[in-house]
Amino acid sequence: MVFTQYDIKILANIIDPKDNKKGLGKMTATTVKEIVDRTNFSDKKVRMALKKFLEAEMVAYGIADGRTKTYYILPKGLEELDSLYELEIEEDEE
């Protein structure tokens, strides 16, 4: 599956930069609204990216916040972010 740079930004923003535990487990999962607020992407764009990440098993559903679905990043998603970050560092060193 092909991901855009915007998709990757959405994946990274499942984890709250101000609270590193937010978005890493079922109980601390992130809502679409929180991702929209952090990225300024449309609700539709965030939902489409999350659907792709769910299919790729990089993200899973967390415990619902009332009727609102929540999402947290799985180890496969973290590995993807780590590999991209390592690649970015290597390119900067060249």
Number of domains present in the structure of the chain: 1
Q: CATH number of the domain that 57 lies in?
A: 1.10.10.10
Q: What is the pLDDT of residue 92?
A: 57
| pLDDT score of 59 | 98
Query: Contact, 72 vs 53, CB < 8 A?
Result: no
Q: Are 61 and 70 in contact (CB under 8 A)?
A: yes
Provide the residue range defining the domain that includes 41. Answer: 5-93
> What is the chain's pLDDT, residue by residue, as a tens digit (94 residues)?
789 999 999 999 999 888 878 999 999 999 999 999 999 999 999 999 999 999 999 999 999 989 999 999 999 999 999 888 776 555 555 5
Prediction pTM value: 0.85
